[in-house]
Amino acid sequence: MSKVKTREPFQRRKISDMVAEDLRRWIAQENLQPGDRLPNEKALLEHYSCSKGTIREALKSLEVQGLVKMCTGPNGGPEICTVSLDVIMQQLRTFLHFQKLDFKQIYTLRQSLEVILAKSVVDKLGAEHLTQLQDNIDTYERYRDQGDRISARRTELEFHDILTKVCDNPILAFMCRFINGLLRDLVEYRSDQYDEHEAFGSHNIDSHRQLLDAYQRRDGATVEKLMSEHMHCAASFMQRLDAQFSKDLLSDSQ
């Protein structure tokens, strides 16, 4: 671990923040994995030459970020853990809470990313994934027949989540899943135009059926075409019905 400089007058950051940053850098440089341990508190105190309170504050910061967990007992101390996707998404929601965000911006991004994602998994979907997609379509139809638009919409988005689980590009998968999460958990439709919802629901079922068929045939060109059309229709639907965020982005996802 590199020594943290604390005596230079131009440094105005909290020492604990500097220690936490240095520990993150060390974790990356040493390629530490979940289950690996950081040095114990005594070793950290000697290395950084700072107070016990500063070290504990730095470790607490890493714990809040989900990067370490504090283990108790004789051999306790900070242990590296897998960063929770839910924690990351909540942090992004906290950021977006203070931004001006609308559905046009979301779908401008989604229309591109979902097409790239859909095409990237054509040769990666196994029999179990295809079964999950079919089950999702069946569940969606049941909700639609019951007139439960919200559950149907959330189920429709889960079709896309299944694709993210197969994608081997973690950045692309994360971005698509995060956008789907925003749409699923933070959206409420303000329109009572039943015919519009019925038309959109019919489009979703037809699109997903066709996509599943194309995936079964491993027809990448058709998958790309169908997903592009599907995203364009979804974007147009949202704009026509003037859908908007109705829940605080800081709230927990449902």
**Structure-token match 């147009």, residue found:** 236
In a domain, 253, yes or no: no
Distance CA 68, CA 61 (A): 9
> 126 and 71 share a domain?
no
Q: Which helix (H) or strand (E) holds 236?
A: helix 220-240
Residues in the chain: 254
Same domain, 106 and 130: yes
Please name the amino acid found at residue 169: N
Domain membership of residue 10 (yes or no) is no
Domain boundary among 53, 80, 107: 80
CA–CA dist 176, 66 (Å, integer) = 22
Residue ranges making up the domain that contains 198: 85-245
Residue that terminates a domain, selected from 80, 106, 135:
80
Per residue of the chain (254 residues), give pLDDT as tens.
665 555 444 456 789 999 999 999 999 899 999 999 998 888 999 999 999 999 999 999 999 888 899 888 777 789 998 877 777 877 787 787 777 777 788 888 999 999 999 999 999 999 999 999 999 999 999 998 898 877 888 898 999 999 999 999 999 999 999 998 887 765 554 444 555 667 777 888 999 999 999 999 999 999 999 999 999 988 887 776 655 554 555 555 44
Q: What is the greatest pairwise CA distance in the chain?
A: 70
Count how many domains the chain has: 2
Q: Computed from CA positions of residues 236, 240, 241, 245, in that sequence, does the dihedral angle turn out positive or negative? A: positive
**What is the C-alpha separation between 141 and 135, in angstroms, rounded?**
10
Q: What are phi and psi of 75, to 5 degrees?
A: -105, 25
In a domain, 167, yes or no: yes
Looking at 31, 57, 80, which one is the last position of a domain? 80
